[in-house]
């Protein structure tokens, strides 16, 4: 995150009186400031960004992660439903090597991936570091003007929202899946995917079918 663009709130601290002030006949007092890390950035975007709208004719991109098989299974089921609605679906997989030469390569791949899609679904925030990278990649998609939804599990929802706020987009769309998830069997995860399909569509602001205009 760009710390230079972060805005912090300053609060005055009450004077500190030393225990031996009166003994020496002096009144030594100290003042300071406290940095509030919960303050919103001055450039914060509280709105969720554009809705995905009808999916027909659009390319939906799923950002996957190398360590969460459950997210692969869920993305596959959602992708099938999106294809039935007339969307094209593509996938890009991140990994944990996001530093050095490998990190530079993945950054280029991510940019190419985002340039090729109309809608971004980014996951999975299911641990500390992967939540950080999920939100970071979701912010990159949202900054390009893409309808963007980040996906997390319940335990990491608070962290995800805090990171989105620190990244300047407190309104980032975030769909929450149950936790634990990756420990479930495939048939259990498939059931979760179908159960959450209507919810993720609402979060995305998406429609599986174009609205039928009333004919007079």
> 209 in helix, strand or coil?
coil
Give, for all 216 residues of the chain, the pLDDT tens digit.
444 444 444 444 455 555 555 555 555 556 766 656 667 789 999 999 999 999 999 999 999 999 999 999 999 999 999 999 999 999 999 998 899 999 999 999 999 999 999 999 999 999 999 999 999 999 999 999 999 999 999 999 999 999 999 999 999 999 999 999 999 999 999 999 999 999 999 999 999 986 444 333
| The architecture CATH gives domain 53-207 | 3-Layer(aba) Sandwich (3.40)
Element housing 90 (H / E): strand 88-94
Do 11 and 37 touch, CB atoms closer than 8 A? no
Q: pTM for the whole thing?
A: 0.81
Residue 32: alpha-carbon gap to chain centroid: 35
Residue 147: CB partners within 8 Å, gap ≥ 6?
49, 50, 51, 52, 53, 118, 119, 120, 204, 205, 206
Q: Which residues of 136-166 are buried (b: 16+ CB within 10 A; e: fewer)?
A: bbbbbbbeeebbbbbbbbebbbebbbebbbb
Cβ neighbours, 10 Å, residue 24 = 9
Do 28 and 126 touch, CB atoms closer than 8 A? no
Q: Is the dihedral of CA 158, 128, 74, 48 positive or negative?
A: positive
pLDDT at 1: 46
- How many Cα atoms sit within 13 Å of 192 on the Cβ side? 23
In the chain, CATH 3.40.50.10140 covers 53-207
pLDDT at 163: 98
Rounded to whole angstroms, the Cα distance separating 161 from 171 reads 9
pLDDT at 27: 53
């Amino acid at each position: 995150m760009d710390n230079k663009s972060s805005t912090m709130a300053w609060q005055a601290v009450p004077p500190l009186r030393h225990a031996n002030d009166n003994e020496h006949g002096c009144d030594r007092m100290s003042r300071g400031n406290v940095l509030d890390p919960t303050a919103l950035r001055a450039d914060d975007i509280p709105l969720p960004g554009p809705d995905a709208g009808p999916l027909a004719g659009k390319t939906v991109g799923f950002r996957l992660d190398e360590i969460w098989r459950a997210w692969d299974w869920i993305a596959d089921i959602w992708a099938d439903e999106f294809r039935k609605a007339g969307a094209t679906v593509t996938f890009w997989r991140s990994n944990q090597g996001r530093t050095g030469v490998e990190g530079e390569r993945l950054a280029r791949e991510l940019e190419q991936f985002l340039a090729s899609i109309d809608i971004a679904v980014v996951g999975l925030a299911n641990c500390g570091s992967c939540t950080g990278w999920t939100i970071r990649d979701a912010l990159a998609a949202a900054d390009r003007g893409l309808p963007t939804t980040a996906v997390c599990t319940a335990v990491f929802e608070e962290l995800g929202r805090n990171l989105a706020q620190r990244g300047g987009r407190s309104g980032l769309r975030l769909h929450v899946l149950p936790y634990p998830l990756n420990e479930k069997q495939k048939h259990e995860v498939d059931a979760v995917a179908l159960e959450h399909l209507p919810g993720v569509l609402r979060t995305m602001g998406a429609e599986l079918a174009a609205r039928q205009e009333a004919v007079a």
